[in-house]
Amino acid sequence: MTIWFGDVTGVDLNAMAGASLIETLGIEIVEIRDDAIVARMPVDRRTTQPAGVLHGGASVALAETLASWAGYLAVDRSALHVVGQEINANHIRPVSSGWVTATATPAAIGRRAHVWEVRIVDESGRLVCISRCTLAVIEQRSSYSAPEGRGAHA
């Protein structure tokens, strides 16, 4: 049984991410499962720190992006919107190249708040970062849109 609201097969999250931090960091949604969402991010000049390893802030941006997309898919988007409220992250091991893959699963999906757990692993499946993100669910139509629909916010 799916945790998503409505039909999500036609929702093109990657297209909606254009002209945003998500695109800048190279984050791509690669899979939407019945109970999780999966994305990947390159470990390259955009996402590393001066020591040459994945920047912790890039990991947090990946985690919040994925939690936010998950929350977006889990609510009635015609009446509700989700916004990040709190995030924490534990950085476990460095990565200097390749890709990291993140999987977001729900810890709690409530009417007013969601809590998502995001596990980020390297190409060998080793844990790189674990994060927990709390989203507030607010009563307004979702404002997520593709770049051309953002108006003054673009």
Mind listing the pLDDT tens digit for each residue in 53-100? 999 999 999 999 999 999 999 999 999 999 999 999 999 999 999 999
> Nearest 5°: CA angle at 121, between 115 and 125?
130
68: which residues sit within 8 A by CB, 6+ positions away? Answer: 82, 83, 84, 133, 135
Per-residue pLDDT band for 154 (boundaries 50, 70, 90) equals very low
Residue 153 has pLDDT above 70, yes or no: no
Lay out the sheet containing 99-109: strands in order across. Answer: 28-32, 37-42, 99-109, 113-121, 127-138, 81-91
pLDDT digit string, tens, across residues 124-152: 999 999 999 999 999 999 999 889 888 65
Nearest to residue 72, comparing CAs of 151, 137, 150?
A: 137
pLDDT digit string, tens, across residues 88-119: 999 999 999 999 999 999 999 999 999 999 99
Measured distance CA(55)–CA(107) in Å, rounded: 25
The catalytic site residues sit at 64
- Which value, to the nearest 10 degrees, does the dihedral of the CA atoms of residues 52, 55, 58, 63 take? 120
pTM for the full predicted model: 0.95
